[in-house]
Amino acid sequence: QQPVQSPQAVILREGEDAVINCSSSKALYSVHWYRQKHGEAPVFLMILLKGGEQKGHDKISASFNEKKQQSSLYLTASQLSYSGTYFCGTEIWGSGAGSYQLTFGKGTKLSVIP
Amino acid sequence: DAGVIQSPRHEVTEMGQEVTLRCKPISGHNSLFWYRQTMMRGLELLIYFNNNVPIDDSGMPEDRFSAKMPNASFSTLKIQPSEPRDSAVYFCASSFASIRTNTGELFFGEGSRLTVL
């Protein structure tokens, strides 16, 4: 079950903030966030596990609301280097021991301009 | 560590030909994934292995696709016969899923861009 990301695209000026949302219709075990620059492979940002935790590093953080099966990625004081496509990947709860079915959303294209 | 290594980086072939994509995961990782990326469908999980054993291949589009992992340091994705709609970037990723969390970050290779004419 593919998670739904919103918005599909966003344009920011340097220094502005953005929020990217990821939602699922299934109970989630974990949410992964990755960033992909054009022509490159996706790069890991963070994992959030069932439990409603919030994580972050530098000016990028994320939250996981397990009641709503939603995760949000927060980018504050955006920099030009933040440009890229952001993907959330979700693992469904209860899909079995050893299950690791990480399904990605269609991505959110973020463009940061000077 | 060299990271996940994929080959070839680019492949152009004609419809009907066999295509073999190769992947060397990061040493010590116990999970390996094959994804396909297209503009229309995004990143699709094709198959993943845990300790060299295929766990779920429900994402493999057709019988034309097959994947193997004969040992912990090598995997192949084969398409036979190839069709134009198979054109995409194929990513291999590996991970170490800890016993405690049963999940872990995915490290992606640089991808194999396949064009089927």
Distance (Å) from the alpha carbon of B117 to chain A's nearest alpha carbon:
21
Of B42, B45, B107, the CB nearest to A102: B45
Q: Note the pLDDT tens digit of each residue in B39-97.
A: 988 999 999 898 899 988 888 988 999 999 999 999 999 999 999 999 999 999 999 87
Spell out which residues of chain B touch residue A87, defining contact as CB-CB under 8 Å: 42-43
Distance CA B19, CA B76 (A): 10
Which of residues B115 and A52 earns the better pLDDT score?
B115
The answer, for A37 touching chain B at a CB cutoff of 8 Å, is no
Q: Which residue has the tokens 């990028």?
A: A60
Contact B54, B112 (CB under 8 A): no
Q: Are strands B19-24 and B5-7 parallel, antiparallel or unpaired?
A: antiparallel
Query: Quick check: A42 and B105 CB within 8 A?
Result: no
Output phi, psi for B86, to 5 deg. Answer: -80, -5
pLDDT given at position B32: 93
Enumerate residues 6+ apart whose C-beta is below 8 A from A58: none
Distance CA A73, CA B107 (A): 20
pLDDT given at position A55: 66
Taking CA–CA distances from B111, the nearest residue in chain A reads A41
Output phi, psi for A82, to 5 deg. Answer: -80, -10
Distance (Å) from the alpha carbon of B91 to chain A's nearest alpha carbon:
8
Distance (Å) from the alpha carbon of A25 to chain B's nearest alpha carbon:
18
Mean pLDDT of all residues in A101-109 = 91
The answer, for A113 touching chain B at a CB cutoff of 8 Å, is no
Q: Note the pLDDT tens digit of each residue in A6-57.
A: 999 999 999 999 999 999 998 888 899 999 999 999 999 998 887 656 666 7
Which range, of A26-30, B8-12, B71-75, B108-112, averages the lowest pLDDT?
Answer: A26-30
Contact A106, A5 (CB under 8 A): yes
Enumerate residues 6+ apart whose C-beta is below 8 A from A82: A12, A35, A60, A75, A110, A112
The answer, for A38 touching chain B at a CB cutoff of 8 Å, is no
Query: Quick check: A98 and B45 CB within 8 A?
Result: no
Output phi, psi for A10, to 5 deg. Answer: -150, 140
Contact B4, B93 (CB under 8 A): yes
pLDDT given at position B55: 84
pLDDT at A101 over 80: no
